Amino acid sequence: MTQTSLAAIVMAGGLGKRMRSATPKHLHVLLGRRMVDWALDAVLALEPDPVVVVTSPEAQDELAGSLDGAHVAVQPEPRGTGDAVAATRPVLDGFDGDVLVVPGDAPLLTPQLLEDVLATHRRERPALTMVTVEPEVPRAYGRVLRAPDGSVAAIVEAADATPEELGITELNASIYVFSANDLWRSLDRLGTENAQGELYLTDAVAALVGAGRTVAAHRASDASEADGVNTRAELAQAAAALRDRINARHMEAGVTILDPATAWIDAGVELEADAVVEPFTILRGRTRVARGASIGPHTVIVDAIVGERATIGPFCYVRPGTVLEAGAKAGTFVEIKNSTIGEGTKVPHLSYIGDADVGAGTNIAAGNITANVRHEDRAKQRTRIGRDVKTGIHSSLVAPVEIGDGAWIAPGSVITEDVPADALAGFPPRQETKEGYVRARRRRD
């Protein structure tokens, strides 16, 4: 391989004990993506080959097969960051280019920062280029020690630092670009004489300098991009920062977000220009919102398709598999699941529509539900409601049932049998169907 080739290592082996969670730290989700996925996305933008994600045995099964374009290497025991990098040797054996190493608990990483440090490395050609930051409030990161001539001499971890060293404001961001040969040579020199009794990757700096090699530093212009997540509080802070980035991108593309601080939009959500997002709205998964649609306030939509000029909310819950076609409405305190709501159809308030297909121009009155009795030997059945149907308040449609085009449902009804087109049905306590009633009524009117 040429000296300009690039491999990448994403460090995701820590369990994150300070998270107080049964879920490994790197698998916690922020805005629809696991923490490690955010870091991996930034790395993949540089098109390295190969890419290796180092993980713990606890996370191995979940990560295997779920990382697009990346190998998984397992660190059997948590023996430090140097040992974690060493776990990638079977994959990187024979690679002689540059190796980018990033932490998998830094979801705010951007491709631009990684491109900048790589450019510094290839311009100056040291053995190692590291990213440093100077945050306003120093964190428990390694301190960068400089020689009298200003060159990088070593990194001392916060747990091993003296009070004087803790006063240093230049911190290690745990983002590195190594020459592959220098990386392996420095790992062979690591020891465990430190407060944690671990193999620190940061000790590679002093090892390289001691061997007469040069270490360069690239100062990040935005220290927050290197922020790691170790606690639930830091997880929430990172999520808020990602929320702001996502919302800013949508607003720049022509979406109206009335209160960006209360709109939580997953990374995989698509919104077209002139869509409107009201306050306290959550859009999750692969939701797609078309031009001119209005969502919220106080609305949750998950894996749904919202057509042009459709309106959803307030206080609405739209669940996976739902499609609202152009001009459809799901109003106050409405829940819809795995259903198609036809063009111009209205479900204005206080109703549940699940596993249903509703035609265009229909009006579902308040307090309606589609009920589904699941038998042991059958999956859930669907309710089919035609075009221009009108249902009365407080009615239940028990699947499998089909309501024909133009039919009316009387208030307070329980519909268990199919209703023909243009019929009037209901009349509790038992369903009665008057065929042709609506057609005759139209003629009289």
Q: Which of 37, 35, 40, 41 is nearest to 15 (CA)?
A: 35
DSSP symbols for 77-120:
S---HHHHHHTTHHHHTT--SEEEEEETT-TT--HHHHHHHHHH
Number of domains into which the chain is organized: 2
Both 212 and 307 in one domain: the answer is no
Both 201 and 262 in one domain: the answer is no
For the chain, how many helices (H) and strands (E)? 10, 38
Q: Could you tell me the two tokens for 147?
A: 């020689």
Amino acid type, 108: L
CATH number at residue 266: 2.160.10.10
Q: Which of 367, 347, 85, 328 is nearest to 200 (CA)?
A: 85
CB of 376 closer than 8 Å to CB of 394: no
Please state at what angle helix 35-44 crosses helix 232-252, rounded to 10 degrees: 50
429 preceded by a cis bond (ω within 30 of 0): yes
297 preceded by a cis bond (ω within 30 of 0): yes
Q: What is the DSSP letter of 387?
A: T
- Number of residues that make up the chain: 445
Both 267 and 215 in one domain: the answer is no
Per-residue pLDDT of the chain (445 residues; tens, 9 = 90+): 344 699 999 999 877 788 888 888 899 999 999 999 999 999 999 999 999 999 988 888 888 878 877 899 998 888 889 999 999 999 998 898 999 999 999 999 999 999 999 999 999 999 999 999 998 888 889 899 999 999 999 999 888 899 999 999 999 999 999 999 999 999 988 878 777 778 889 999 999 999 999 999 999 999 999 899 999 999 999 999 999 999 999 999 999 999 999 999 999 999 999 999 999 999 999 999 999 999 999 999 999 999 999 999 999 999 999 999 999 999 999 999 999 999 999 999 999 999 999 999 999 999 999 998 766 666 789 999 999 999 999 999 999 999 999 999 999 999 999 999 999 999 988 899 999 999 888 887 7
Both 285 and 162 in one domain: the answer is no
User: Which residue, of 226, 241, 271, is where some domain finishes?
Assistant: 226
Domain region containing 14: 6-226
CB of 202 closer than 8 Å to CB of 172: yes
CB of 39 closer than 8 Å to CB of 55: no
320 preceded by a cis bond (ω within 30 of 0): no
Q: What local confidence, expressed as pLDDT, does residue 4 receive?
A: 67
Both 206 and 317 in one domain: the answer is no
CB of 358 closer than 8 Å to CB of 376: no
Q: What local confidence, expressed as pLDDT, does residue 1 receive?
A: 34
Query: Does the residue 201 lie in any domain?
Result: yes
Query: Does the residue 235 lie in any domain?
Result: no
Query: Does the residue 241 lie in any domain?
Result: no
CA torsion, points 204, 209, 215, 221, in degrees to nearest 10? 70
Give me the residue label for tokens 């019929």: 423
pTM over 0.85: yes
Query: Which residue in 26, 298, 349, 375 is the catalytic one?
Result: 349
* CA 233/CA 236 separation, integer angstroms: 5
Query: Does the residue 246 lie in any domain?
Result: no
3-class SS of residue 438 = helix
Look up 250 and say whether it is catalytic: no
Q: How far apart are the first and last CA of the chain?
A: 83
User: Which residue, of 207, 226, 245, is where some domain finishes?
Assistant: 226
Both 52 and 94 in one domain: the answer is yes
3-class SS of residue 145 = strand
Both 288 and 167 in one domain: the answer is no
- Spell out the alpha helix ranges (H) of 127-202: 163-166, 180-188
By DSSP bridging, strand 98-103 and strand 171-179 are antiparallel
Query: Does the residue 240 lie in any domain?
Result: no
3-class SS of residue 223 = helix
* CA 398/CA 369 separation, integer angstroms: 9
User: Which residue, of 226, 242, 274, is where some domain finishes?
Assistant: 226
Both 159 and 288 in one domain: the answer is no
By DSSP bridging, strand 288-289 and strand 305-306 are parallel
Both 160 and 217 in one domain: the answer is yes
Query: Does the residue 248 lie in any domain?
Result: no
Q: Which of 327, 320, 303 is nearest to 312 (CA)?
A: 327
Query: Does the residue 234 lie in any domain?
Result: no
* CA 373/CA 168 separation, integer angstroms: 67
CATH number at residue 204: 3.90.550.10
**Up-side HSE of residue 72: CA atoms within 13 Å toward CB?**
19
The backbone torsions φ and ψ at residue 255, rounded to the nearest 5 degrees and listed phi first, read: -90, 140
Both 268 and 123 in one domain: the answer is no
Both 333 and 414 in one domain: the answer is yes
Both 144 and 290 in one domain: the answer is no
Query: Does the residue 242 lie in any domain?
Result: no
